[in-house]
Chain A
Amino acid sequence: MLKFIKHHMETIAGIEIYPVISFVIFFVFFIALTVYVLKVDKKLFKDISNIPLDSNDTNHDEA
């Protein structure tokens, strides 16, 4: 399947950079995510987290 591209890159210098790149991508992503959740309005999260408990069934089979 990959034969046609297989031999285009016979070697790569410093392949060790791959794990470093991946770690950096994740770290930036994680920090951004943390900043986001800390900035969001508390009340909003409170509303959302009540969705499963918001019973709209009419025949009362829900707890």
Chain B
Amino acid sequence: MSENSQKVGLETFHYDNTTVRNFLIATTIFGIIGMTVGLLVACQFVWPEANFGLQYTTFGRVRPLHTNAVIFAFVGNGIFAGVYYSLQRLCKARMYSDLLSKIHFWGWQLIILSAAITLPLGMTSGKEYAELEWPIDIAIALIWVVFGLNMFMTIIKRRERHLYVAIWFYIATFVTVAMLHIVNSFELPIDFMKSYSWYAGVQDALVQWWYGHNAVAFFLTTPYLGLMYYFIPKASGRPIYSYRLSIIHFWALIFIYIWAGPHHLLYNSLPDWAQSLGVVFSVMLIAPSWGGMLNGLLTLRGAWDKVREDAILKFMVVAITCYGMATFEGPMLSLKNVNAIGHFTDWIVGHVHIGGLGWNGFLTFAMLYYLIPKLYGTKLHSQKLANVHFWIGTMGILFYAIPLYWAGFTQSLMWKQFNPDGTLVYSNFLETVTQIMPMYALRAFGGLLYLSGVFVMVYNLVKTARSGSFQPTTEAQAAPLMKDYKPEKSEHWHRRIFEWKPMRMLIWSLIIVAIGGVIEIVPTFLIQSNVPTISTVKPYTPLELNGRDIYVREGCYTCHSQMIRPFRSEVMRYDPVDLEYSKAGEFVYDHPFQWGSKRTGPDLHRIGKKYPDSWHFYHMLDPTSMSPGSIMPPYPWLFEQEWDKERTPAKIRAMQTLGVPYPDGYDQQAVSDAENQAALISKGLELEGIKMSSDTEIMALIAYLQRLGTDIKNVEGVTEGK
């Protein structure tokens, strides 16, 4: 400490750069892995044989691997890198504990590793973006708390009284993700790697999309907005355009976002009031989102000459623009009439990739290009290569998104097209898939371009790092805060209450987001009339339950919905005899719900009894034998592996705990009942010349598929409540 600094009471301290660098390396590595897996699944649309004939690399299991890797490994590590760098500097304090930083870093990587092992093995809870099984869920909660503790203690021992807006976003991220993760992960374990969602059907769907939507909001958006509010001023050398706007942006965004989840379930079996709630708040969401986008872009006003040369700023401009596009598109897609077209199609996949590739990806790249030279005390190896990356990446986004928008519109219009005599023009679902195959090929090409750009970046950054030497710490000086500081009465109340008080900030953020959750979800749980019961809907038989577990394990929901919306075009297609759309009461025993969100293949809710058992048998063995041109992969392992007799009693007991009305002591009888049902199916197949052991998994899957959506057909009048 120099003499001068002692005089004015300055403290000298060192920022921790090691943790930041580790997270930066992790985000790069997992970015490459996550995107490569993404490219693989994109190729599987065009060449289904790209699953290598293995169950572990088949689409239904690898697609969750892609989404989890990109969201939680690539973006997750990106968040932590940015937070650990900016928080220290905004608080003028080193992270509270190096040990917590280490536990956080290695704990998070272990979680990612366990996800990468369990998802291909088919260990999944079957809920989109929350597929990981219960032990990993617990690990995530613990590590998240370590992160929060480290962050809060750093904030508490800060040397800058005021909490800059970026920190607000980090705090809101921490509390909300904790709340979402815990509520959505309520599940009943039956053994080490298998559990059932605590909720069923409509309730499960509502909780899941409240989670799913807000995972986008509070994992992919708010932390990155915090990073935007820090790194844009840093990279451009100018303060944020309007701090006033950033306050409105923050509170309005976290308040509104939490309500918008039901827009994922429009025209689904969800009470109307919940759907309307989702629509109204989604439309309102444009205001704070665009406020934030403009705030970011306008920060660069008068600095556009810099943007022309500086690749970092270019990445930022495209990232913010993509944020603006995605947050305009989101509310539009939440309008019921637009949603009727976009839902279940590739439009949604295009939409999320504008956000993922553009907003999260490009902002992460900007951060990497900004931080690596700083941490290694050198200059970027090549501005030119960074610009090459920028252009390849931008082309990649365009080649990815535009074909999918095209594909989504085309397919949706084909689904809904009628002949003059009232029949469907494209009654065979497959026709609407083969039509968009060229678009799938272009999308894979876009992904390849984007990934190539990342390799250019890695080369550039490795060269940069080699040209400098890593600085594990950065020295800084600041005066400590006065311990007994009392704000002047003249200070504004908002500052006295919130902006100097991190714990209050946390609590109020939690209250704000909890209001939305409570009003949205609780009524559905409390009020019976919101989920009308149908007297003929009965629990699954033990064999069907096993079949359902196979359906979940194989990730069938990644391509098939179980939700026929109340449109003429859908009931005509999926239930041409009885014209029944999906009713809320049909899902009361579905732990977890399997409505799906994308139709690469047709809806399966009324597939039961539509085809003979032998059709399903041959179709699962080789889909193209029954549907020539199908892009569904074969499932030969279902004909070798045996369905799960051992755990069947435990499964029945778990279902009883969750409120499924099996008779007392039924767990003891379940296996023999299942064996009898399997024998029946096997005998039926034998009459058609198929010899196959009744113990194979295919028997259970056929039993489940043949049951789907058939319960309400056994009655004359369906008792819909309300």
Does A pair with B?
A: yes
Say yes or no: B243 contacts A45, CB within 8 Å.
Answer: yes
The CA of A7 and the CA of B474, in the complex, are separated in Å by: 60
Say yes or no: B527 contacts A15, CB within 8 Å.
Answer: yes
Asked whether A57 and B233 contact (CB < 8 A) given A1-B198, A6-B526, A51-B162, the answer is no
Asked whether A56 and B519 contact (CB < 8 A) given A15-B530, A63-B237, the answer is no
Hey, which chain A residues are within 8 Å of B528, CB to CB?
A: 6-7, 10-11
Chain A: how many interface residues by the 8 Å CB criterion?
45
Contact of A37 among B164, B244, B475 (CB under 8 A): B244
Binary per-residue interface labels of chain A (35-63) against chain B in the complex, 1 for a CB within 8 Å, 0 otherwise:
01111110001101111110011110111
Q: Chain B CB within 10 Å — which of A6, A41, A51 has the most?
A: A51
Say yes or no: B527 contacts A52, CB within 8 Å.
Answer: no
Asked whether A22 and B12 contact (CB < 8 A) given A15-B527, A34-B248, A56-B478, the answer is no
Asked whether A53 and B280 contact (CB < 8 A) given A2-B525, A11-B527, the answer is no
Say yes or no: A33 contacts B273, CB within 8 Å.
Answer: no
The CA of A57 and the CA of B247, in the complex, are separated in Å by: 27
Chain A binder among B252-260, B398-406, B555-563:
B252-260
Say yes or no: A29 contacts B255, CB within 8 Å.
Answer: yes
Contact of B276 among A19, A51, A63 (CB under 8 A): A19
- The A interface is mostly helix, strand or loop, or mixed, namely helix
Asked whether A45 and B280 contact (CB < 8 A) given A10-B529, A50-B239, A52-B233, the answer is no
Contact of B273 among A15, A59, A63 (CB under 8 A): A15
Say yes or no: B471 contacts A53, CB within 8 Å.
Answer: no
Binary per-residue interface labels of chain B (66-85) against chain A in the complex, 1 for a CB within 8 Å, 0 otherwise:
00000000000000000000
Give, as a whole number of angstroms, the nearest-CB distance from A15 to chain B.
5
The CA of A40 and the CA of B493, in the complex, are separated in Å by: 10
Within 8 A of B (CB), among A8-23: 8-12, 15-16, 18-19, 21-23
Hey, which chain A residues are within 8 Å of B248, CB to CB?
A: 30, 33-34, 37
Say yes or no: B252 contacts A19, CB within 8 Å.
Answer: no
Hey, which chain A residues are within 8 Å of B160, CB to CB?
A: 51
Q: Chain B CB within 10 Å — which of A7, A10, A46, A49 has the most?
A: A49
Give, as a whole number of angstroms, the nearest-CB distance from A62 to chain B.
8
Say yes or no: A26 contacts B255, CB within 8 Å.
Answer: yes
Hey, which chain A residues are within 8 Å of B519, CB to CB?
A: 18, 21-22
Contact of B12 among A25, A30, A53, A58 (CB under 8 A): A58
- Residue on A with the closest CB to B279? A19
Say yes or no: B659 contacts A40, CB within 8 Å.
Answer: no
Say yes or no: A11 contacts B529, CB within 8 Å.
Answer: yes
Contact of B492 among A34, A40, A50, A52 (CB under 8 A): A40
B90 at the binding interface (Cβ < 8 Å): yes
Say yes or no: A36 contacts B527, CB within 8 Å.
Answer: no
Hey, which chain B residues are within 8 Å of A56, CB to CB?
A: 92, 476-478
Say yes or no: B247 contacts A16, CB within 8 Å.
Answer: no
B568 at the binding interface (Cβ < 8 Å): no
Within 8 A of A (CB), among B129-166: 160, 162, 164, 166
Asked whether A53 and B251 contact (CB < 8 A) given A19-B273, A48-B162, the answer is no
Within 8 A of A (CB), among B260-302: 271, 273, 276-277, 280-281, 284
Say yes or no: B186 contacts A1, CB within 8 Å.
Answer: yes
B218 at the binding interface (Cβ < 8 Å): no
- Residue on B with the closest CB to A37? B244
The CA of A49 and the CA of B525, in the complex, are separated in Å by: 44
- Residue on B with the closest CB to A59? B475
Say yes or no: B475 contacts A58, CB within 8 Å.
Answer: yes
Say yes or no: A12 contacts B276, CB within 8 Å.
Answer: no
Give, as a whole number of angstroms, the nearest-CB distance from B496 to chain A.
12
B9 at the binding interface (Cβ < 8 Å): no
Binary per-residue interface labels of chain B (648-686) against chain A in the complex, 1 for a CB within 8 Å, 0 otherwise:
000000000001000000000000000000000000000
Say yes or no: A33 contacts B252, CB within 8 Å.
Answer: yes
Hey, which chain A residues are within 8 Å of B92, CB to CB?
A: 56
Contact of B234 among A18, A22, A38, A53 (CB under 8 A): A53
Say yes or no: B166 contacts A61, CB within 8 Å.
Answer: no
Binary per-residue interface labels of chain B (213-255) against chain A in the complex, 1 for a CB within 8 Å, 0 otherwise:
0000000000000000110011101111001111110011001
Say yes or no: B233 contacts A61, CB within 8 Å.
Answer: no
Hey, which chain A residues are within 8 Å of B374, CB to CB?
A: 61-63
Say yes or no: B527 contacts A9, CB within 8 Å.
Answer: yes
Say yes or no: B244 contacts A38, CB within 8 Å.
Answer: yes
The CA of A36 and the CA of B248, in the complex, are separated in Å by: 10
Hey, which chain B residues are within 8 Å of A16, CB to CB?
A: 273, 276
Contact of A3 among B246, B476, B515, B659 (CB under 8 A): B659
- Residue on A with the closest CB to B525? A2
Hey, which chain B residues are within 8 Å of A25, CB to CB?
A: 515
Give, as a whole number of angstroms, the nearest-CB distance from B104 to chain A.
23
Give, as a whole number of angstroms, the nearest-CB distance from B490 to chain A.
10
Say yes or no: A8 contacts B252, CB within 8 Å.
Answer: no
B612 at the binding interface (Cβ < 8 Å): no
Q: Chain A CB within 10 Å — which of B86, B198, B229, B240 has the most?
A: B240
The CA of A61 and the CA of B252, in the complex, are separated in Å by: 36
Within 8 A of A (CB), among B472-530: 474-478, 492, 494, 515-516, 519, 523, 525-530
Give, as a whole number of angstroms, the nearest-CB distance from B159 to chain A.
9
Say yes or no: B526 contacts A45, CB within 8 Å.
Answer: no
Hey, which chain B residues are within 8 Å of A37, CB to CB?
A: 244-245, 247-248
Within 8 A of A (CB), among B417-462: none
Hey, which chain A residues are within 8 Å of B234, CB to CB?
A: 52-53, 63
The CA of A58 and the CA of B668, in the complex, are separated in Å by: 72
B89 at the binding interface (Cβ < 8 Å): yes
Say yes or no: B240 contacts A18, CB within 8 Å.
Answer: no
The CA of A34 and the CA of B249, in the complex, are separated in Å by: 10
Binary per-residue interface labels of chain B (175-207) against chain A in the complex, 1 for a CB within 8 Å, 0 otherwise:
000000000001000000000001000000000
Asked whether A52 and B89 contact (CB < 8 A) given A19-B277, A59-B475, the answer is yes
Say yes or no: B230 contacts A45, CB within 8 Å.
Answer: no
B48 at the binding interface (Cβ < 8 Å): no
B377 at the binding interface (Cβ < 8 Å): yes
Within 8 A of A (CB), among B299-338: none
Asked whether A22 and B516 contact (CB < 8 A) given A48-B243, A61-B474, the answer is yes
Hey, which chain B residues are within 8 Å of A19, CB to CB?
A: 273, 276-277, 280
Give me the interface of B with A, judged by CB distance under 8 Å: 12, 15, 86, 89-90, 92, 160, 162, 164, 166, 186, 198, 229-230, 233-235, 237-240, 243-248, 251-252, 255-256, 259, 271, 273, 276-277, 280-281, 284, 374, 377, 471, 474-478, 492, 494, 515-516, 519, 523, 525-530, 659
| With A49-B239, A52-B164, A57-B89 already in contact, 18 other A-B pairs whose C-beta atoms are closer than 8 Å | A15-B273, A15-B523, A18-B519, A19-B280, A22-B281, A22-B515, A26-B256, A26-B281, A33-B247, A37-B247, A51-B160, A53-B237, A56-B92, A57-B474, A58-B475, A58-B476, A58-B477, A62-B89
12 contacts between A and B (CB under 8 A): A9-B526, A11-B528, A15-B527, A18-B277, A19-B280, A22-B281, A29-B251, A37-B245, A48-B162, A49-B246, A51-B164, A57-B15
Enumerate the 9 nearest inter-chain pairs by beta-carbon distance, A residue then B residue, closest first: A49-B239, A45-B243, A49-B243, A19-B277, A37-B244, A51-B164, A58-B475, A57-B476, A52-B233
